[in-house]
Amino acid sequence: MKTVKEGEVRRQEILMVARELFVTKGYEQTTVNDILKIVDIAKGTFYYYFNSKEEVLAAIILDIVEEGAKRAEQILKDKSVPLINRIMMAIMAQSPEFEGSEEIRDEMHKVDNAKLEQLYTRTMLKRMTPLLEVAVAEGVAADLFHLDYPRETIESILLLGHMLFDCNIMDWEMTEYPAKIKGFLANMERMLGTRAGELKDFLQMFA
């Protein structure tokens, strides 16, 4: 049966279904046929809209990163919160939550999804670095931060935060996380060149 739809509608349908499947079954475990069955289209239609399964992945990741960046942006502009806390919260909030469901995020990283992870890291760094550059510049101007390589430091912090909050690259036990988070915060402080302990109230959340 042939049902014709307007291009953008069809495209969004494919993206929605694919995202749901990638996130629940994993990227590699999801076949193009799985997607076809649910969207109820033929293979040729799929490849009319996307050149490859990977292109679908890239589009989805762009959406996910954009959603995270929007949350981070909101947090960073609330000047009533101390700067260093805003930065930390922005990094945490940027992590994909998928409508608040933690279970789905866990699924995302349980499975073997090297491609998804790598593409996500790359895209996220590109999108988030400029946001944090502004925030760090604010801290430098206010004499809160003291550092010589802001751009490199931001990239490092984002990368480490990603490994910590989003990534399955280290197979840590739940019990190890408090130490990992405290270590991350301590090193973030040192790299930014803040007076030590500036983040103390934050640290107590993980004590």
Partner DNA sequence: GTCTATACAGAGATAGAC
Partner DNA sequence: GTCTATCTCTGTATAGAC
Residue 97 CA to residue 68 CA, distance in Å, equals 8
Token readout for 45 is 């239609």
Q: Which of 12, 16, 47, 187 binds DNA (CB under 7 A)?
A: 47
Q: Which of 169, 200, 201, 206 binds a copy of itself (CB under 8 A)?
A: 169
22 binds a copy of itself (CB under 8 A): no
Residue 54 vs 78, nearer CB to DNA: 54
Q: Which of 4, 148, 174, 195 binds a copy of itself (CB under 8 A)?
A: 148
CA angle 70, 73, 75 (to 5 degrees): 115
CB of 57 to DNA, least distance (A): 10
Which CB sits closer to DNA, 14 or 185?
14
**Residue 110 beta carbon to DNA: minimum distance, rounded to whole angstroms:** 18
Q: Is 33 in the site for DNA (CB under 7 A)?
A: yes
Radius of gyration of the chain (CA): 20
Tokens at 2, concatenated? 């042939």
Residue 118 interacting with a copy of itself (CB under 8 A): yes
114 near a copy of itself, rule: CB under 8 A: yes
Among residues 67, 81, 77, which one has the least CA distance to residue 201?
81
Nearer to DNA by Cβ, of 3 and 175: the residue is: 3
Interaction partner, residue 6 (a copy of itself, DNA, none; CB < 5-8 Å by kind)? DNA
Nearest in space to 71 (alpha carbons), one of 12, 153, 152, 128: 128
CB of 205 to a copy of itself, least distance (A): 17
Based on the number of CB atoms within 10 Å of its own CB, is 167 exposed (0-12), middle (13-18) or buried (19 or more)?
middle
CA distance 17 to 88: 33
Angle between helix 114-141 and 53-76 (nearest 10):
20
Q: Report the interface residues with DNA, using CB under 7 A.
A: 1-7, 10, 30-34, 40-45, 47-49, 51-54
